[in-house]
Amino acid sequence: MKPAPAVAVTAPRRLVEGRERVTLNTAYVRALEGAGLVPLAVPTMLAADRAGAALAAVRGLVLTGGEDVAPARYGAAPHPRLGDVDPVRDAAELALIAAARARGLPILAICRGIQILNVALGGTLYQDLDSERPGPVPHNDETGRHPVHVEAGSLLERTLGTRSASVNSRHHQAIRDLAPGLKAVAWADDGIIEGAEPSDAKEPWMVAVQWHPEDLTERALFDGFARAVA
């Protein structure tokens, strides 16, 4: 039997009961293992050149949720409502994205993941939706859900198997200007971009979503990622 493919999952630094730890929500581990993959945590506190080297051992990359991306990365001044940033994590994940793209590895980008991916490819972000782009959809709600509309014929639609979904939403930032090379393929009712993928269909598999599929019973994204990795 072929061994299960390993994938890198970014694991941030967190202060837990007064001690610094490298952390990864178990929901990512369960979702990836459930899709037949072996998740390997890559600490985002690694120096950028080391982080990229971690990809030598894996067949795919998962960019996880977390802090805001430092606005200097996309040429903006910090907004008063900017949340916590971790410039070391930004650097490590930008190196991971560059290394994954250089090797043609599949990338699954979740929440902060869609944001850092957009910045990596030259896009910009809203730093705080409530103050910079207020609208009727509560995007920053620990318990709520909202509908998303998925572009017909997109990789995301083929992966999810649907053009409409109800997703969780725990983000106060979002894509502002989409990066060259990406196309938007899912939106909330207020027009906020909730999904993106390469505009060139010949690019390696890459799906980025603004929601947290690891916390839904929805398995399709992880299964699609696993098929791309295999």
Binding residues for Mn ion, rule: CB under 5 A, are 139, 169
User: What's the gap between Cα 18 and its chain centre?
Assistant: 28
**Beta carbons within 10 angstroms of residue 145's beta carbon:** 14
Helix, coil or strand: residue 195: strand
Query: Smallest gap, in angstroms, from Cβ of residue 116 to Mn ion?
Result: 17
Query: Smallest gap, in angstroms, from Cβ of residue 184 to Mn ion?
Result: 13
Query: Smallest gap, in angstroms, from Cβ of residue 129 to Mn ion?
Result: 9
Residue nearest to Mn ion (CB): 169
Q: Specify whether 197 is catalytic.
A: no
Q: Specify whether 171 is catalytic.
A: no
Match 């995007």 to its residue by tokens. 139
- CA nearest to 48, candidates 127, 116, 108: 116
Q: Which two tokens stand for residue 125?
A: 């972000």
Which ranges constitute the DSSP H helices of the chain?
Answer: 26-34, 48-53, 87-103, 112-120, 129-132, 155-160, 220-229
Match 């992966």 to its residue by tokens. 159
Query: Smallest gap, in angstroms, from Cβ of residue 148 to Mn ion?
Result: 8
Report the C-alpha gap between 73 and 98 in whole angstroms.
15
Catalytic-labelled residue, pool 67, 93, 111, 218: 111
Catalytic-labelled residue, pool 93, 194, 212, 218: 212
Report the C-alpha gap between 106 and 61 in whole angstroms.
6
Catalytic-labelled residue, pool 194, 197, 214, 218: 214
Between the alpha carbon of residue 133 and those of residues 3, 74, 88, 138, 175, the distances in Å are 47, 18, 28, 12, 11
Q: Which two tokens stand for residue 148?
A: 């998303």
Report the C-alpha gap between 30 and 35 in whole angstroms.
9
Query: Smallest gap, in angstroms, from Cβ of residue 124 to Mn ion?
Result: 18
Q: Specify whether 20 is catalytic.
A: no
CB-nearer residue toward Mn ion: 89 or 139: 139
CB-nearer residue toward Mn ion: 151 or 203: 151
CB-nearer residue toward Mn ion: 103 or 145: 145
CB-nearer residue toward Mn ion: 105 or 175: 175
CB-nearer residue toward Mn ion: 112 or 139: 139
Q: Which two tokens stand for residue 178?
A: 């989409």
The catalytic site residues sit at 111, 212, 214
